Structure 1
Amino acid sequence: MEIEMKIRGLMVDPTNNAPIVILKDVKGDSVLPIWVGLYEANAIALEVEKATTPRPLTHDLLKNMINGLNASVQRVVVSELRNDTFYAVIWLEQNGESVTVDARPSDALALALRSDCPIFVDEEVLRAAKVLPNPADQATSEELRRWLEGLNDEDLGRYKM
């Protein structure tokens, strides 16, 4: 089963300064942090803030190409968590047929924002993301999860990239 999520915000991990995209369940309290690269976080931040650039960036180009091929992005799904790596699928529709494309979650999320399409996370991914293989990391991870779940709008603004 897939759970619809929204991008709740972008922030910087206070422990290692890595960018994090925060996804939040539309109908519940589930929160999924996904650590992403700096360039991908910037692409997401630009679209969240509706900033314009003088020339199309990579995700703008991708959207333009999809539209130019008479296709549309229907949804993106964070579909798998394997070896501590998230995987995503972009669902496209072209001429009445569905096509799926493998993608990094950061790219899928940046494209979803530009295409104004829903974002989903597979329920198994949410379950797996809450379990850490190394018990020594459990406390740190659980503390981070509680901290992320407790963030309000002011906090997200304070840690904004």
Structure 2
Amino acid sequence: MRQMDVVGVRVEMPSNQPIVLLREVEGERYLPIWIGAVEATAIAFAQQGVVPARPLTHDLLRDVVSSLGHTLSEVRITELTDGVFFAVLAFEGGVEVSARPSDAIALALRTGTPIYGAEAVLEAAGIAVPDEQEDEVEKFRAFLDEISPDDFLGGNAAPEQG
């Protein structure tokens, strides 16, 4: 497993499909995962520190887990099968729950939990970006700084693959 950071979310054109982009902490691979608009909004809210007036689903799950006295230890992107990504929520004590990567990432950002990607997933879907291409990544980050979570609402996004 390789530790991953969330670079951000954006809408892929022309399909109008949101993606979340992860990057290896110690490496040069990026992992794009196509997600739903609601999950893109939840991830963007968490990254931007937006606190909604009422808890969103991922906020509710964080609060329930905490209220029950449990801790989310790590999130793992474990598998890629027929273009569909799979993830696991790993709790203390060895309890694991299957999840969509987008939900797992949204929860991880809310709880400060590390995210890991399986080597097989990174080999299959990771994109190596050498240092000389880091310019393009910086442009992507600049785009992310300008985009609002509201940009993900109201679009006709395809069903989530992640």
CA-atom RMSD, angstroms? Answer: 2.1
Superposed displacement of residue 158, structure 1? 5.1
- Which amino acid in 2 is paired with 1:11? R
Task: Report the equivalent of 2:120.
Answer: 124
Which deviations, in whole Å up to 9, do the C-alpha atoms of 1:128-158 show, x marking residues without a partner? 215xxxxxxxxxx99xxxx898321324335
Query: Which structure's CA Rg is the greater one?
Result: 1
Q: Against the structure 1 CA distance between its residues 14 and 32, is the aligned structure 2 distance closer, same or farther, given a 3 Å change threshold?
A: same
Of all paired residues, the percent bearing the same amino acid is 40
Asked whether 1:35 is paired with 2:34, we answer: yes
- State whether structure 2 residue 150 is matched by structure 1 residue 151: no
TM-score by length of 1: 0.82
Where structure 2 has 5 or more consecutive residues not aligned to the other structure, the ranges are 152-162
Structure 1 residue 45: Cα displacement: 0.6
Tell me, yes or no, if structure 1 residue 4 matches structure 2 residue 3: yes
In 1, distance between residues paired with 2:57 and 2:91?
Answer: 18
Give the drift of 1:115. Answer: 0.7
In the comparison of the two structures, how many residue pairs are matched?
143
Equivalent residue runs for 1:1-161 within 5 Å: 2-93=1-92, 97-129=93-125, 150-152=136-138, 153-157=141-145, 161=151
The structural deviation recorded for 1:28 is 1.3
Pairwise CA distance, 1:27: 1.0
In structure 2, do the counterparts of structure 1 residues 101 and 20 end up closer, same or farther at CA, with 3 Å as the change threshold?
same
User: Which AA in structure 2 matches 1:81?
Assistant: L
Larger RCO, structures 1/2 (Cα 8 Å, 6+ apart)? 2
Letter of the structure 2 residue corresponding to residue 114 of structure 1? R
3-state SS of the aligned residue for 2:58? helix
1:44–1:113 CA contact under 8 A, matched in 2: yes
| Code of the aligned partner of 1:57 | L
